[in-house]
């Protein structure tokens, strides 16, 4: 736990890494069903294909709104941190993730090849506060 706290503050980061804030999504039975990360800063790799937000949902809970809920909550946190826009990416063949990103206003900028995999890059404008209500 201390390691994640340090990383969120930019301390003890591995070389080439940026600060990372992570949240776990726990269901009402205490089971972890997902996780989401926010990287408030961009480095070259993240700008190229990694993005500032990454998330994963347990297979049993996919297509049930978990990713969308997590993303909405983390976008609020990014807005609170003063971010005006966020870069989020997904594999080009991940239709569900693309739909989640687009639901929150993600606009496709381009696709890039990263280690043999096509990645779609989306920007989400956080200055439009009407969707935070």
Model confidence over 17-64: pLDDT tens digits?
888 999 999 999 999 999 999 999 999 999 999 999 999 999 999 999
pLDDT at 19: 87
**Do the beta carbons of residue 70 and residue 36 sit within 8 Å?**
yes
Structural element, H or E, at residue 35 = strand 32-38
pLDDT at 119: 97
Looking at residue 101, the DSSP 8-state letter turns out to be H
Residues 6+ apart with CB under 8 A from 133: none
Residues 6+ apart with CB under 8 A from 81: 40
Q: How confident is the model at residue 12 (pLDDT cuts 50, 70, 90)?
A: confident
pLDDT at 8: 63
The whole model's pTM is what? 0.88
Model confidence over 66-118: pLDDT tens digits?
999 999 999 999 999 999 999 999 999 999 999 999 999 999 999 999 999 99
Phi, psi at residue 130, to the nearest 5°? -60, -30
């Amino acid at each position: 736990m201390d390691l994640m706290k340090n990383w969120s503050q930019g301390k003890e980061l591995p070389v080439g890494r940026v600060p990372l804030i992570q949240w776990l999504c726990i269901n009402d039975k205490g089971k972890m069903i997902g996780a989401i990360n926010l990287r408030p800063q961009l480095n070259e790799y993240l700008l190229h294909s990694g993005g500032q937000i990454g998330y994963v949902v347990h297979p049993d809970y996919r297509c049930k709104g978990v990713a969308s809920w997590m993303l909405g909550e983390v976008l609020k946190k990014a807005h609170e941190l003063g971010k005006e826009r966020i870069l989020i990416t997904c594999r080009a063949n991940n239709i569900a993730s693309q739909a989640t990103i687009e639901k929150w206003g993600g606009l496709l900028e381009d696709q890039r090849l990263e280690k043999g995999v096509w990645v779609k890059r989306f920007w989400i404008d956080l200055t439009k506060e009407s969707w935070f209500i």
